[in-house]
């Protein structure tokens, strides 16, 4: 009983001591916007990029082997003009052969990494609400934007390195424009590791999977 009484006395004394201390605080603000607009991405081939059977003899022994798919039409359809940007989610995270946000995983052959793939938005064929004067915009923070005027834009995987978003601007605008319907050509570039890094005694299943994500701005 004495031990219990001593503990209670200590707690009481400590409580009075803490209550006598000066208080400091910092404010917390919670903000955001709920928008009635919704955008739905789709691909003309249902997003299925099938490279068929690849012979082991077609793989480079000591270098990466690359394969390019045909084009699929990427469409972003919004219920109202909406400012948005795109990035990707790697559904086979941790299996890409390079720790680079542009590469999405192809799954594993046991413990071996098979390779990776990139999703490239082409510089031509862009259309936004009937306009073809469309500039791809790049941002690493969602607020400061830089135009991408040439070359293929490769969607970046969310959660790998610094976040990268790609938006679309009309008529030379300096940031993504409100758009109802955007369409663009998308191609997959697949990279297979050098043959000497794979066990090629049995069939290897290529199992790449990713999601294209719409971020509202």
Q: What digits encode the pLDDT tens for the residues 173-210?
A: 999 999 999 999 999 999 999 999 999 999 999 999 99
Q: State the pLDDT at residue 21.
A: 59
Tell me phi and psi for residue 7, to 5 degrees: -65, -40
Q: Phi/psi of residue 209, each to 5°?
A: -155, 135
Task: Work out the number of other CB atoms within 10 angstroms of the CB of residue 16.
Answer: 8
Strand partners, 39: 78
Q: Give me the pLDDT at residue 20, please.
A: 56
DSSP E strands, the chain: 39-43, 65-68, 72-82, 84-90, 104-105, 108-109, 112-113, 115-121, 127-128, 134-139, 146-148, 153-154, 165-170, 179-192, 210-216
pLDDT band at 25 (very low <50, low <70, confident <90, very high): confident
pLDDT at 98 over 70: yes
> Is 58 buried (19+), middle (13-18) or exposed (0-12) by CB count in 10 A?
exposed
Give 161 or 1, the one with higher predicted confidence.
161
Per-residue confidence (pLDDT) for residue 199, from 0 to 100: 95
- Is residue 202 within 8 Å of 104, Cβ to Cβ? no
Q: What is the model's pTM?
A: 0.83
Domains of the chain: 36-216 (2.60.40)
Cα separation, 183 vs 198, in Å, equals 38
pLDDT of residue 35: 66
pLDDT of 3 higher than 60: no
- Per-residue model confidence (pLDDT) at position 26: 82
Q: Say if residue 113's pLDDT is above 70.
A: yes
The predicted pLDDT at position 27 comes to: 81
């Amino acid at each position: 009983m004495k031990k219990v009484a001593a503990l209670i006395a200590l707690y009481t004394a400590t409580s009075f001591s803490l209550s006598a201390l000066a208080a400091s605080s910092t404010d917390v603000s919670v903000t955001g916007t709920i928008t009635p607009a919704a955008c739905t991405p789709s691909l003309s081939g249902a997003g299925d990029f099938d490279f068929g059977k690849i012979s082991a003899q077609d793989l480079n022994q000591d270098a990466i082997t690359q394969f390019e798919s045909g084009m699929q039409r990427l469409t972003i359809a919004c219920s109202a003009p909406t400012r948005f940007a795109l990035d990707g989610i790697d559904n086979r995270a941790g299996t890409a052969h390079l720790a680079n946000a542009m590469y999405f995983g192809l799954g594993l052959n046991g413990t071996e990494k098979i390779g990776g793939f990139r999703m490239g938005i082409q510089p031509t064929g862009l259309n936004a609400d009937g306009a073809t004067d469309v500039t791809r915009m790049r941002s690493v923070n969602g607020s400061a934007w830089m135009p991408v005027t040439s070359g293929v834009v490769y969607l970046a995987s969310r959660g790998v390195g610094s976040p990268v978003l790609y938006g679309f601007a009309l008529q030379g605008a300096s940031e993504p424009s409100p758009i109802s319907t955007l369409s663009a050509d998308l191609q997959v570039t697949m990279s297979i590791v050098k043959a000497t890094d794979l066990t090629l005694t049995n069939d290897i299943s290529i199992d790449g999977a990713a999601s294209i994500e719409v971020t509202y701005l």
